[in-house]
Structure 1
Amino acid sequence: MPGGTYTLVLAVPTSLTIEVGALGDHDLPAGGYAYTGSALGSGGFARVDRHRDIAAGERDTRHWHIDYLLGHPAVRIADVVRTGGLDVECAIADRLGNGPVPGFGASDCDCESHLARRDAVDTMVAAVEDAHDRLAAKRSE
């Protein structure tokens, strides 16, 4: 599959505090989280595999904000939603709303955050799927 835009849906079963690099320490309540990113380079969606490695504890290097959250032992990836061939990262993030960490994943754009939160993981999965489906349909018109 070519590169494009992806959203990781994360299950955070208990409140936690994480350090997010230069963004500092942040308290995150339990719930469903979504991180939206792009995988437009030559490796395409291989970036998602790297995220899975961080979440599984198979990598320790923290390059991006999401690495700090994925590296916490209580956090797991519940789902990954992809839209191939489209650069709709900011549009997806905007549709999902702003999350608890201003600037998270948004250091190279004008978005407030690329991390969103809902009370439940299943609610977040539905919102993410809807955002990807709507934007993919809109682009194909």
Structure 2
Amino acid sequence: MVELIDPSHTLYSIHLHISNDVKVEVGKLGSILFKKGEYIYVGSAKRNIVARINRHKKKEKVKKWHFDYLRPHGMITKIITYETSIGECRLAEKLRKESSGSWPVKKFGSTDCKCPSHLIFVAN
């Protein structure tokens, strides 16, 4: 796993590889089919980003964020942090464009903003 983590940053992306199609119950979003492939999840932590990332790495935990439901079904391949100025929503859009990705699940990780999603499907 590649980790490029700067504790002074507040934004992060977690790259997750899912080996097989899997149906996951994701909180209030309901039952969702995730196709096998590469995903990028974009998040933020106003303080202690390292603790947030370490929590996201764990497979077994109390489920609080949408990513918590998906995490047990994939392998993290890369984690990158980013400085704050771009903002979480713009970072998600930037990474989607750079990866030629798509939004696989509406409002995944973005229920508190107007973004389509903070989860990007990159490829199978």
TM over 0.5: yes
- Shift of residue 84, structure 1, vs aligned partner: 3.3
Query: Which residue does 2:87 correspond to in 1?
Result: 88
What runs of 5+ residues in structure 1 fail to find an aligned partner?
Answer: 121-141
Residue aligned with 1:103, SS: coil
- Equivalences for 1:63-82 in 2 at 5 Å? 63-72=64-73, 75-82=74-81
Does structure 1 retain, via aligned residues, the 8 Å contact 2:102–2:122? no
Higher strand share: 2
Instruction: Verify: 1:16 aligned to 2:17, yes or no.
Output: no
**SS of the residue aligned with 1:71?**
helix
Structure having the higher Rg: 1
Indicate the structure with greater helix content.
Answer: 1
Contact 2:17 2:38 in 1 (8 A): yes
Q: Kindly report which structure 2 residues correspond to 1:25-36, keeping only aligned pairs within 5 A, or say none.
A: 25-36=31-42
**Which of 37, 43, 52 is 1:47 aligned to?**
52
The code of the aligned residue for 2:22 comes to L
What is the distance in 1 between the residues matched to 2:17 and 2:44?
A: 21
RMSD: 1.6
Give the 3 Å change call, closer, same or farther, for CA 102–85 of structure 1 in structure 2: closer
Cα distance between partner residues in 1 of 2:39 and 2:75: 10
Moved over 3 A (4+): 84-87
Aligned residues: 113
Percent identity of the aligned residues? 34
